[in-house]
Amino acid sequence: MWVTSLVSVLPLAVFAFALPSKDCEHKVKEAVVPPRHWVVSGPAPPDHLIKLRIGLPQPNFDVLEDHLYAVSDPYHERYGAHLTKEEVEELVAPHPDSVSEVNGWLSSHGIQEEDVGRSPAGDWLTIKLPVQLVEKMLDTKYHVWKHTGSGEQIVRTTSYSLPKDIFEHVELIQPTTMFGTFKKLKSSLHSISKIDPQLQSQNLPPITDSATGLTVDASCNTTITITCLQQIYNAVGYTPSAGIGNSVGISGYLEDFANRADLQAFFEDQVPAAAAVNATYNFVSVAGGLDPQDPDEVGVESNLDTQFAFGLTFPIESTYFSTAGRPPFIPDIGTPEDTNEPYTDWLDFVLSHPNPPLSISTSYGDDEQTVPESFAKRACAGFAQLGARGVSLFVSSGDGGVGDGDPDPATQECITNDGTNRTQFIPGFPASCPFVTAVGGTVLFPERAVSFSGAGFSNYFSRPRYQDAAVTGFLKKLPAGTYSGLFNPNGRAIPDVSAQSDFFRVFVNGQPFHVGGTSASSPAFAGFVGLLNDARLKKGLPSLGFLNPLFYSKAASGFNDITVGNNPGCGTEGFNATVGWDAITGLGTPDFGKLVKLVT
pLDDT digits (tens, 9 = 90+) for 25-80: 899 999 998 888 889 999 999 999 898 999 999 999 999 999 999 999 999 999 99
| Domain assignment present for 454 | yes
Of 478, 521, 485, 480, the residue nearest 503 (C-alpha): 521
> H or E segment at 233?
none
Q: Do 290 and 283 meet the contact criterion of CB atoms below 8 Å apart?
A: no
- The answer on 219 and 168 residing in a single domain is no
> Is there a domain that residue 76 lies in?
no
Give the pairing of strands 282-286 and 317-323: parallel
Helix (H) or strand (E) holding 28: strand 26-31
C-alpha–C-alpha distance, residues 254 and 256, integer Å: 5
The residues that bridge with 172 in the sheet, in sequence order, are 55
Task: From the candidates 217, 301, 496, 534, give the one annotated as an active-site residue.
Answer: 301
Q: What is the CATH number of the domain that holds 363?
A: 3.40.50.200
Contact 299, 290 (CB under 8 A): no
Pair 243, 167 in one domain:
no
Instruction: Report if residue 585 sits inside a domain.
Output: yes
Residues 379 and 248 in one domain: yes
Do 223 and 97 share a domain, yes or no? no
In a domain, 65, yes or no: no
pLDDT at 199: 56
> Of 152, 171, 217, 305, which is the active-site residue?
305
Boundary of a domain, candidates 143, 163, 179: 179
Residues 393 and 509 in one domain: yes
Q: Judging by DSSP bridges, how do beta strands 124-130 and 117-118 pair with one another?
A: antiparallel
Domain of 104, in residue numbers: 12-58+93-179
> What is the model's pLDDT at position 371?
87
What pLDDT score was predicted for residue 438? 98
> Does some domain include residue 285?
yes
Q: What angle do CA 20, 22, 25 make, to 5 degrees?
A: 140
- 271 shares its domain with 364: yes
**346 and 437 both lie in a single domain:** yes
Say yes or no: 120 and 171 in one domain: yes
Residues in the chain, pLDDT under 50 = 1-22, 183-187, 333-336, 339
Distance CA 186, CA 516 (A): 14
Q: Is 301 tagged catalytic?
A: yes
Same domain, 461 and 590: yes
Whole-angstrom Cα distance, residue 562 to residue 577?
6
Q: Does this model's pTM top 0.85?
A: yes
Asked if residue 83 is part of any domain, the answer here is: no
In a domain? residue 184: no
Tell me phi and psi for residue 597, to 5 degrees. -75, -35
The contacts of residue 483 (CB under 8 Å, 6+ apart) are 425, 572
Same domain flag for 234 and 157: no
DSSP 405: S
What pLDDT does 3 receive? 39
Res 365: pLDDT: 83
pLDDT (0 to 100) of residue 358: 98
| Residues that constitute the known binding site | 561-562, 580, 582
3-state SS, residue 147:
strand
Q: Domain boundary residue among 130, 164, 179?
A: 179
CA 280 to the chain's CA centroid: 24
Position 180 scores a pLDDT of 74
User: What φ, ψ does residue 128 adopt, rounded to 5°?
Assistant: -95, 120
For residue 74, being part of any structural domain is answered with no
Clarify whether 305 is annotated catalytic. yes
Binding-site residues for Ca(2+) sit at: 561-562, 580, 582
171 and 250 together in one domain = no
Say yes or no: 153 and 222 in one domain: no
Contact 579, 571 (CB under 8 A): no
Domain count, the chain: 2
Q: From the candidates 187, 519, 521, 543, which is the catalytic residue? A: 519
